[in-house]
Structure 1
Amino acid sequence: MLTTTAAILLLQSTAAQGSTPVPAPAPPRCDTEEYAAFDFWVGEWDVYSTGGENQVSESRIERLYNGCAIRENWKPRSGATGGSLSGYDPATGRWHQTWIGSAPGIVRFDGGPADGKMVLTGFWRGVGGPGVDGLIRMTYTPNEDGSVRQHGEISTDHGLNWANAFDFTYRPKEDSE
């Protein structure tokens, strides 16, 4: 029995050494119009309260993984840091974003382009304070000056009524030379 097992192992080893590995095909690129729908948000940004000069954060948004994902690294002047990973799902025709911050919990958003904007909505536990869960709807709007507005609205009644939650303008970072 031991001799038979050794012979089989030797044959398998010899066969593996003699075969030429076949290279894996390159993954398809995510370079269609659907994947580019959120490209207006990609860049290095200084983030301000909309309509003011109060800088609240810096943010770096980049395309990754063969163009299939967009990642944000949110670095506020104060408060919780965090980041998001966004991507288009061709199976559903929808965009998805997962936010993970320095406070416990994960928020998953879902949506897509609408009238030249990106609209994503997600359920956020405790967003209105302890025990106050709600929906957050974020609308990203590219502006003519190259900035991007991120307007967040909150609903604590399952989307019947919406109120302003936050309003940021992402301005392109000035070159520091």
Structure 2
Amino acid sequence: MLTAAFALAVAQATAPAAAPTPPPACEGVNHKAFDFWVGEWDVFPNGGDQQVANSRIEKVSAGCAIRETWMPFQGRGGSSLSAYDPQTGGWHQLWVGGSPGRVFFDGGAVDGGMVLTGYWGRNAEGDRMLVRMTYTLEEDGSVRQYGQASADHGRTWSDAFDYIYRRKE
């Protein structure tokens, strides 16, 4: 009896372990909601012809995140990392620029675009500024990034920036 139990224990110990269950893939409509921004871009102020930056937006981390590399012609560059969070049902973005600090934005897909909001900087009076960025795919294939700022926690908004991302040829 002891020999049979020993043989069974040895057989179980030497049997190949079951492969771990792979993590869920970052697929589906929610994970792809910001894919319209992926590409190599020349960036212009909306309504202007003077290019102000280059920007590279790419899928990273097995397609689970989108990374921007912002390369302005004047000033310091920066990077953002954006991802969909299935637990919250929203999108989150971390921005790190060429000066100390970071900014967290939260939001999600709205009418085929993306809206992200977070506190970024202060106004002349020292009040924290809430910034709302709206990204929309335009009919010509460009992407508009329209930024608005609020010093009263979103009760009123004013224009902050307005860029058009045109695909590099």
Unmatched 5+ stretches in structure 1: 1-17
Q: Work out which of the residue numbers 164, 169, 172 in structure 1 matches 2:164.
A: 169
Distance 1:90 1:47 in 2: 31
- Aligned ranges for residues 108-127 of structure 1 at < 5 Å? 108-126=104-122
The answer for the alignment partner of 2:147 in structure 1 is 152
The answer for the alignment partner of 2:128 in structure 1 is 133
**Which secondary structure state, in structure 2, belongs to the residue aligned with residue 40 of structure 1?**
helix
Deviations 1:33-56 (A, max 9, x none): 100000000000000001111111
The answer on 1:142 being equivalent to 2:124 is no
Q: What TM-score do the two structures reach when normalised by structure 1?
A: 0.82
**Which secondary structure state, in structure 1, belongs to the residue aligned with residue 74 of structure 2?**
coil
Unmatched 5+ stretches in structure 2: 1-13
- Aligned ranges for residues 32-43 of structure 1 at < 5 Å? 32-43=28-39
Q: 1:116 Cα deviation (Å)? A: 1.3
Distance 1:141 1:124 in 2: 21
Letter in 2 for 1:83: S
Deviations 1:2-25 (A, max 9, x none): xxxxxxxxxxxxxxxx78666544
Percent sequence identity over aligned pairs:
56
Q: 1:131 Cα deviation (Å)? A: 2.6
Distance 1:129 1:54 in 2: 28
The answer for the alignment partner of 2:87 in structure 1 is 91
Deviations 1:132-176 (A, max 9, x none): 4200000000011110000000001111111110000000011xx
Distance 2:166 2:125 in 1: 33
Letter in 1 for 2:46: T
- Aligned ranges for residues 22-33 of structure 1 at < 5 Å? 23-33=19-29
Q: Structure 1 residues 96, 45: closer, same or farther in 2, change over 3 A? A: same
Distance 2:22 2:125 in 1: 48
Distance 2:23 2:167 in 1: 32
**Which secondary structure state, in structure 1, belongs to the residue aligned with residue 52 of structure 2?**
strand
Distance 1:169 1:89 in 2: 27
Greater share of helix: 1
The answer for the alignment partner of 1:11 in structure 2 is none
